[in-house]
Amino acid sequence: AEDGYDLWLRYRPLPAGIQARDRAQAAALVYDVDRHDQSIIKAGEEIERALAGMLGAQVPNYSQSVVPGAILLGTADEPRIKALNLPLGSLGSEGYVIRSATIDGKAVTVIAANSGVGVLYGSFALIERLQRGLPIDGLDISAAPKLKLRLLDHWDNLDRTVERGYAGQSIWDWWKLPDFKSPRYTDYARANASIGINGAVLNNVNAKADSLTAPYIVKAAALADVFRPYGIKVYLSARWSAPIELGHLKTADPLDPAVATWWKAKADEIYAAIPDFGGFLVKANSEGQPGPQDYHRSHADGANMLAAAVKPHGGVIMWRAFVYAQENPEDRAKQAYDDFKALDGRFADNVIVQVKNGAIDFQPREPFHPLFGAMPGTPLMMEFQITKEYLGMATHLVYLGPLYEEALQADTWAHGKGSTVAKVIDGSLDHHALTGMAGVANIGSDRDWAGSTFNQANWFVFGRMAWNPDASAKTVAGEWSELTFGPNPQVTSTVVDMMTTSREAVVNYMEPLGLAHMMGTGHHYGPAPWVHELARPEWNPVYYHKADATGIGFDRTKTGSNAVAQYAPHVAAMFADPKTTPERNLLWFHHVGWDYPMASGRTLWEELAAHYTLGVSQVADMHGKWRSIQPLIDPERYAKTDIFLSIQQREAQWWRDACLAYFASVSGRPLPAGEAPPA
């Protein structure tokens, strides 16, 4: 059944003509099993599985001799590969070459790399070509990831609830670990390896100290054993106060030698069980989590103490810049920069600061985070959300590729034009070797892993962009569609259309023109722009939109919070003036009157209403497109998406109606002419 379990690794039979063509280049598999490289063995298994599924034939498997049409897997030191003088030198430990070559007079396809994991990545790339119906002769491909850490952050709790997870329980079955290693862990690793993801933070950043106790270390080690051949390292979120909770120390002050000693011993204990443990992710002094500031120490003091504990083992510390702990009545968007900018250059060399794409919190649209480009002396990694906390959770069809691309291609102007966020995080702008991207996973125990078929695309595009932050969202959408629904051009163009519109649609029906954080408190699902009574100012939607009788928007210019000053001068100047601020960000930076003239010739109020209404009709368009390809999609996946689009349609309308009714009441204005009143 097409229940979505196979993700983009479906390996369904190819059309007979293509099968016949491909069989000539996939006649046998050759790799030296005696070398016991576990990653190459997994690569071989995957190719066998893929060829059996797609070509409908078991492929003979030789460990020694090359035959015509063989696929040869090996690392650079394999004698036959060595003899080919492939350009492996510049591809690092994870890159690969796929080359159609001749060995002993026989035409073969070589997949070569400097490591077994590179061979595995190359194998998935070859399989992908087959899946997409592309020929596999005449190949000369080489690829290598641009980022070093390509990680999923699981916000999974030890009781198997998942914070902001909408796809069922946590896939980590802690009770049955370490003994029972669910086959799902292997499939998880295969899916991740197929898109180049090389690390998983197993537990929620709102961490419980328990995850660092001996029983849980053994469980994490069992997962690490499953993941290792797939090139995936295990990381853990560390609770700052663990030395108090587990070690019975009086303090967690990072400058207290007993604290440093406790962490060192803890790191040694973990590395004894997991020799390739990746390191710790830390949320400190944020949303009530403990941290070094509790002891009047800085984030750098905290990060560096932990960094010293994992350093001898080659581990890293990913220290999050998502902070808002102190009362910050003026502008929550400023706090990360305020706390971190001054620490630039003061972090140990195995620390990387993890920054969300925007300064508030994973909204449908935010301008890029001002820390990107502002900390040249510190490696920064991107944190995206793959799960759709603020974008309709499981059911709304929202492809996040355009959101990621917009953030990555934003120009920080840190070193003049072209200083994109992508160049900040790939290390090229300021010459950092430690680079990375983390995605808050959307994975759970649901049969389809991600809660919907289209949510799988967000996991997929995250992997692609972590491998290459300059990847095109639209290209990736097409690739994903071909893998997920088969390479039918009509399906692909329709699905790509739906996907590329979907992000703009959700922005329009939830938070157009730079509005933010108007979701219902706590759950973050439906509209609640009217909420104003919560204890902390920045918990209230009214804090973000600041709508009143005269106008709407958050003044972040000099007359307001002056958050614009956190950007490089060129960008700051652009955002400081409503005329040069892109309209999509207008109300993020400016409080403007309801009659403010927009580029379209409409007033702000008319424009706002038009965006809400457009969002609703964009969902209807997506739904119509989906219906147009019904005969080309299997019934099971068709129906689920069809129903979800109906939910999204109803809720887009709800968002539009609720927000417009509220803003009409605040502004004292009737709905603009032509706008239907709320149903």
Residues in touch with ligand GCW (CB under 6 A): 155, 163-164, 205-206, 283, 286-287, 322, 361-362, 389
As given in the structure block, the two tokens for residue 381 are 């990694």
- C-alpha angle with apex 387: 479 to 228, nearest 5 degrees? 70
Which is catalytic among the residues 3, 137, 268, 287?
A: 287
**What residues have CB less than 8 Å from 508, skipping those under 6 apart?**
611, 612, 614, 615, 618
Q: Which is nearer to ligand GCW, 283 or 640 (CB)?
A: 283
Encode burial over 536-553: b for 16+ CB neighbours within 10 A, e otherwise.
Answer: eebebbbbbbebeeebbb
Q: How far apart are CA 155 and CA 126, in angstroms?
A: 33
Q: Which is nearer to ligand GCW, 203 or 653 (CB)?
A: 203
Q: Is 507 helix (H, G, I), strand (E, B) or coil?
A: helix
Q: Which is nearer to ligand GCW, 407 or 471 (CB)?
A: 407
In whole angstroms, the minimum distance from the beta carbon of 155 to ligand GCW comes to: 5
What is the DSSP secondary structure assignment for residue 169, as one 8-state letter? S
In whole angstroms, the minimum distance from the beta carbon of 77 to ligand GCW comes to: 44
- Residue 330: active-site member: no
Contact in structure between 563 and 571 (CB atoms under 8 Å): no
In whole angstroms, the minimum distance from the beta carbon of 286 to ligand GCW comes to: 6
In whole angstroms, the minimum distance from the beta carbon of 477 to ligand GCW comes to: 25
Q: How far apart are CA 510 and CA 652, in angstroms?
A: 7
Q: How far apart are CA 579 and CA 567, in angstroms?
A: 18
- Residue 555: active-site member: no
In whole angstroms, the minimum distance from the beta carbon of 169 to ligand GCW comes to: 17
Which is catalytic among the residues 361, 448, 651, 657?
A: 361
Which is catalytic among the residues 389, 479, 538, 657?
A: 389
Backbone angles phi, psi at 610, to 5 degrees: -60, -40
Contact in structure between 457 and 106 (CB atoms under 8 Å): no
The type of residue at 172 is W
Nearest to 193 by CA among 182, 205, 204, 185: 185
Q: Which is nearer to ligand GCW, 383 or 448 (CB)?
A: 383
What is the DSSP secondary structure assignment for residue 204, as one 8-state letter? -
Q: Which is nearer to ligand GCW, 322 or 575 (CB)?
A: 322
Tell me whether the omega of the peptide bond preceding residue 597 falls within 30 degrees of 0, making it cis: no
Q: Which is nearer to ligand GCW, 262 or 384 (CB)?
A: 384
In whole angstroms, the minimum distance from the beta carbon of 524 to ligand GCW comes to: 6
> Cα 573 to the chain's mean position, in Å?
30
What is the distance between the terminal CA atoms of the chain, rounded to a whole angstrom? 39
Q: How far apart are CA 181 and CA 671, in angstroms?
A: 58
Q: Is 262 helix (H, G, I), strand (E, B) or coil?
A: helix
Q: Which is nearer to ligand GCW, 61 or 206 (CB)?
A: 206
In whole angstroms, the minimum distance from the beta carbon of 238 to ligand GCW comes to: 14
β-strand partners of 140: 99
- Residue 606: active-site member: no
Q: Which is nearer to ligand GCW, 287 or 634 (CB)?
A: 287
**What residues have CB less than 8 Å from 607, skipping those under 6 apart?**
513, 583, 598, 600
What is the DSSP secondary structure assignment for residue 519, as one 8-state letter? B
Q: What is the largest CA-CA distance in the chain?
A: 83
Contact in structure between 590 and 550 (CB atoms under 8 Å): no
What is the DSSP secondary structure assignment for residue 484, as one 8-state letter? H
In whole angstroms, the minimum distance from the beta carbon of 49 to ligand GCW comes to: 36
Q: Is 233 helix (H, G, I), strand (E, B) or coil?
A: strand
In whole angstroms, the minimum distance from the beta carbon of 378 to ligand GCW comes to: 20
Q: Which is nearer to ligand GCW, 203 or 419 (CB)?
A: 203
Residues carrying an active site annotation: 287, 361, 389
